[in-house]
């Protein structure tokens, strides 16, 4: 019986010690965080010469494309041909699905090309390695909004490239797709989806 009581007391003492230690460490981490945050908010403007900004050349932006649906064949003639088996008959649903997919690809190309054109006029930089506090400490609070926007633009560029390249390939615009992928390679714009498009 005394062994059980001693064990319970020792466990309780150890638990109290661990909780207090954890609280102290948490309080220290919180104090350090807020001290850095406060310091970053007071950081004056610093040089941004070492920031690598990405420029999108206008010649890699796909031109507006217009979807022209293929002319429909005379379905009655195709199905009345005695030399055509049931398996070879015209499948209207399949063709409509292909047309819808192509039309969606053309629409995607136009939408993303327009967005890429807008991004080409904006500042773009990969600053994902920095927290907001790190950005303010390194480049100054006055530069924070511009750099944060440049990083957001980079994120959007990385997100839109796979869809744009895939859509270009889908409609047979492989040269344009290759130009975009070369641009990504030259500017170290990478993601798993972009790498899979090669």
Rg value, the chain, Cα: 30
Q: 7: number of CA atoms within 13 Å, CB side?
A: 4
Residue the block writes with tokens 């600053």: 127
Q: 134: number of CA atoms within 13 Å, CB side?
A: 5
pLDDT value of residue 90? 43
Q: Which of 57, 10, 76 is nearest to 184 (CA)?
A: 57
How much is the mean pLDDT over the chain?
81
pLDDT value of residue 148? 95
Please write the tens of the pLDDT for every residue from 101-133: 888 888 999 999 999 999 999 999 999 999 999
Cα separations in angstroms, 73 against 3, 18, 66, 68, 80: 93, 79, 21, 15, 13
Decide: 90 and 75 in contact? Cβ < 8 Å: yes
Cα separations in angstroms, 22 against 11, 13, 35: 16, 14, 20
pTM for this one?
0.70
Cα separations in angstroms, 172 against 65, 88, 109, 166, 178: 12, 26, 12, 10, 11
């Amino acid at each position: 019986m005394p062994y059980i009581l001693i064990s319970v007391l020792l466990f309780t003492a150890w638990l109290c010690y661990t909780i207090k230690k954890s609280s102290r460490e948490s309080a220290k981490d919180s104090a350090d965080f807020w001290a850095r945050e406060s310091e970053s908010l007071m950081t004056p403007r610093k040089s941004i010469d070492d920031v690598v900004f990405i420029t999108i050349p206008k010649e890699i932006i796909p031109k507006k494309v217009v979807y022209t649906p293929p002319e429909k064949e005379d379905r009655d003639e195709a199905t009345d041909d005695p030399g055509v088996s049931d398996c070879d008959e015209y499948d209207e649903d399949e063709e409509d699905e292909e047309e819808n997919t192509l039309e969606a690809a053309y629409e995607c190309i136009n939408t993303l090309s327009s967005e890429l054109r807008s991004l080409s006029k904006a500042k773009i930089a990969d600053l994902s390695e920095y927290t907001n506090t790190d950005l303010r400490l390194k480049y100054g609070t006055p530069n924070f909004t511009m750099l944060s926007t440049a990083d957001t633009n980079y994120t959007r560029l990385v997100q839109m490239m796979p869809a744009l390249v895939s859509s270009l390939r889908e409609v047979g615009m492989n040269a344009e797709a290759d130009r975009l992928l070369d641009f990504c390679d030259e500017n170290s714009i990478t993601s798993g989806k972009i790498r899979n498009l090669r």
